[in-house]
Amino acid sequence: MFGENNDLKISFQLSIPSKNSSDSDSSSSPDTVIDSIESSSVESGISLANSFVSKKLNLSHCKVLVISEEIACERRNF
């Protein structure tokens, strides 16, 4: 999806490691967070996301990559 400035809107679902342990109150709060950023490319989006998360992001554990039909048709020639 395109953002306000015609940039890509990229959403990440990130794990919260401290919530993944077997704490007694872990059921009361989620163990992941979803955050979205706008960027001109996926690479620059990952770089931007790396500036506000404590671990370095990469796509080596990525299970799903969803690209809208609108973006696939619009940016096919890049």
Read off the pLDDT band of 78 (50, 70, 90). low
pLDDT at 42: 85
Q: Indicate the domain borders of the chain.
A: 8-19+28-74
pLDDT at 1: 55
What is the C-alpha separation between 32 and 12, in angstroms, rounded?
10
Asked whether the beta carbons of 45 and 8 are under 8 A apart, the reply is: yes
pTM, full prediction: 0.63
In our burial notation (b when 16+ CB lie closer than 10 A, e otherwise), range 9-40 reads ebebeeeeeeeeeeeeeeeeeeeeeeeebbbe
pLDDT digits (tens, 9 = 90+) for 29-77: 678 888 899 998 888 988 999 998 888 888 888 888 888 888 788 766 5
